[in-house]
């Protein structure tokens, strides 16, 4: 069997497969003919070519048993509770979901001889400067970000073959809740005014764009910590405007605002833009721009990708 056949036949397992990122990743890899297993908690993902298993990640013995049964060559750990406000009010539960399972999972992946890919977040930084590189010191401001940073530490110390990807994503969601881009479209299409934070800067990546990136990382046998973001950065206000212009919606319905105006409970960083030069150099290719990603997001909405995700969740 040549390397290309071996890569095509390798088995991937995606945790949080019914979530925004998990379902986009699984759907992309299924379209490429890869054998995909998924772990889901409350909502099962249904997709031809996907074998979905229900599991609460806090049940460490079941998690371990499932991993040893499936024996995936690669585990992509997307599952997390990401509601920043909820996390701030429920720190123990947040760490139980986002952090503690990583130790048992890393051990099981080691026993299989596989690779552990942890999806982390740009919010491990305090947002004081932006344009963060991998060697910049993380300073998480809220419980959610702290739980993800400790998860990074567990994986890097306990997994034998590991990759950590810090990112910020948007895309089409299979569940009945909206990503940032979907929320903007929903509100503007309904004729409602929205506020975009002009002081919140990020470098978001289309969720499905992570699929080919992870494949290339695995194929090149890269290991370590990487930032995986768009090649440029934008404010959430300008992101909403670009999306509205793409869809021919009224940009005047998007008001300028400041994060402080929202009076949120959990502190949030202002500028979490990332520099992905290390990943670009190691892969030998450029990261997509925000404009590139939005064009693909638009195309997915037009070609049925978005609707197919909505019908995949039971």
What's residue 5's pLDDT?
39
pTM here is 0.91
In a domain, 155, yes or no: yes
| Average of per-residue pLDDT across 25-39 | 87
In a domain, 192, yes or no: no
Q: Is the confidence at residue 224, as pLDDT, over 90?
A: yes
**Residue 20 in contact with residue 28, Cβ under 8 Å?**
no
46 pLDDT band (50/70/90 cuts)?
low
Tell me which residue of 275, 293, 242, 300 sits closest to 136, measured CA to CA: 275
- 280 burial (CB, 10 Å; 0-12 / 13-18 / 19+) is middle
54 pLDDT band (50/70/90 cuts)?
confident
| Average of per-residue pLDDT across 237-255 | 95
| Average of per-residue pLDDT across 154-181 | 91
In a domain, 209, yes or no: yes
Q: Is the confidence at residue 249, as pLDDT, over 50?
A: yes
Give the span between the Cα atoms of 282 and 300, in whole angstroms: 28
In a domain, 98, yes or no: yes
Residue ranges making up the domain that contains 70: 3-176+204-233+274-290
In a domain, 243, yes or no: no
| Average of per-residue pLDDT across 278-306 | 91
**Residue 17 in contact with residue 203, Cβ under 8 Å?**
no
What is the number of domains present in the chain? 1
The CATH number covering residue 218 comes to 3.40.50.720
What's residue 128's pLDDT?
95
In a domain, 220, yes or no: yes
């Amino acid at each position: 069997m040549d390397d290309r056949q071996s890569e095509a036949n390798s088995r991937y397992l995606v945790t949080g497969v019914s979530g925004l990122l998990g379902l986009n990743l699984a759907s992309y890899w299924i379209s490429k003919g890869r054998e995909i297993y998924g772990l889901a908690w409350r909502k099962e993902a249904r997709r031809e070519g996907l074998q979905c298993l229900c599991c609460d990640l806090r049940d460490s013995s079941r998690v371990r048993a499932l991993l040893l049964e499936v024996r995936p060559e690669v585990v992509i750990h997307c599952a997390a509770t990401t509601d920043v406000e909820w996390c701030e009010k429920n720190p123990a539960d947040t760490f139980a979901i986002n952090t503690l399972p990583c130790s048992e999972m890393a051990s099981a992946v080691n026993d299989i001889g596989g690779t552990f890919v942890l999806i982390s977040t740009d919010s491990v930084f305090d947002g004081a400067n932006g344009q963060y590189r991998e060697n910049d010191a993380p300073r998480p401001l809220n419980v959610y970000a702290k739980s993800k940073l400790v998860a990074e530490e567990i994986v890097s110390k306990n997994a034998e073959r590991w990759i950590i990807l810090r990112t910020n994503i948007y895309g089409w969601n299979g569940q009945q809740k909206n990503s940032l881009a979907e929320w903007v479209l929903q509100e503007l299409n309904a004729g409602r005014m929205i506020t975009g934070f002009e002081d919140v800067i990020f470098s978001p990546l289309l969720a499905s764009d992570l699929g080919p990136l992870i494949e290339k990382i695995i194929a090149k046998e890269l290991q370590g910590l990487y930032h995986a973001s768009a090649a440029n950065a934008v404010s959430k206000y300008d992101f909403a405007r670009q999306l509205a212009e793409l869809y021919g919606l009224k940009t005047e319905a998007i008001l300028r605002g400041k994060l402080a105006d929202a009076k949120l409970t959990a502190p949030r960083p202002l500028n979490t833009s990332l520099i992905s030069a290390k990943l670009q150099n190691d892969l030998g290719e450029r990261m997509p721009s925000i404009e590139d990603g939005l064009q693909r997001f638009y195309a997915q909405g037009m070609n049925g990708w978005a609707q197919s995700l909505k019908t995949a969740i039971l």
